[in-house]
Amino acid sequence: MRKLLNMELGRKSVEEYRNSRKSRFVIVLDNVRSHNNVGSVFRTADAFLTKKIFLCGITAKPPHRDIQKTALGATESVEWSYYESTVDAVKVLKAEGYRIIGIEQAEGSIELQNFKPGKEEKCALIFGHEVNGVDQKVLELCDICLEIPQFGTKHSFNIAVSAGIVLWELNRYLTLSQEEGVP
């Protein structure tokens, strides 16, 4: 076994990324305080061809040294916009036909592995503040909440880890359903 060289990985250029067909997912960051988390989410969004990131409230915006450190240039490839209010961003996404999905431990939440997005369904995935989670006013606008099952003593994942888990699982499901012809 040999580790592949970077030039063997077939990476897209920023221009190729921008011209690529994107996933049906957008990410909404609701008052995420850590610049490093924001950068990590950009990097993960790039890896999964996420359509756009909505940065809301106190969430830091590029360019910023700490965002760039973890994003590794993904702020140049992934489209983003800033909203002072997460509620305002969610209202815009609802008007554009997105299903609003909070990633949160909440009454009636659906375990991530049990959620099956529709074949053409556009989904806005909302990730919240590192301590307080998704704001209650934002949760009230959500169509559903997804929860990542956990089995240890801690009750939450880091926001960047959560984004990676959710995007992986949803993209995995969509890839499998396309291969199997699931509607």
What whole-number distance in Å separates Cα of residue 99 and Cα of residue 64?
31
Q: Quick one: DSSP state of residue 50?
A: -
Which pair of structure tokens corresponds to residue 132? 């307080």
Sign of CA dihedral 31, 50, 83, 142: negative
The model's pTM is 0.94
Q: What b/e string do you get for 136-165 counting C-beta neighbours within 10 Å, with b at 16 or more?
A: eebbebbeebbbbeeeeeeeeeebbebbbe
Domain CATH number, residue 106: 3.40.1280.10
What range does the domain containing 94 cover?
18-147+158-180
Question: How confident is the prediction along the chain (183 residues), in pLDDT tens digits per residue?
Answer: 999 998 899 889 999 999 999 999 999 999 999 999 999 999 999 999 999 999 999 999 999 999 999 999 999 999 999 999 999 999 999 999 999 999 999 999 999 999 999 878 999 999 999 999 999 999 999 999 999 999 999 888 999 999 999 999 999 998 877 766 655
Total domain count, the chain: 1
In a domain, 167, yes or no: yes
Distance separating alpha carbons of residues 35 and 157, to the nearest angstrom: 17
Contact assessment for residue 102 and residue 93, using Cβ atoms and an 8 Å cutoff = no
Task: Report yes or no on 6 lying in a domain.
Answer: no
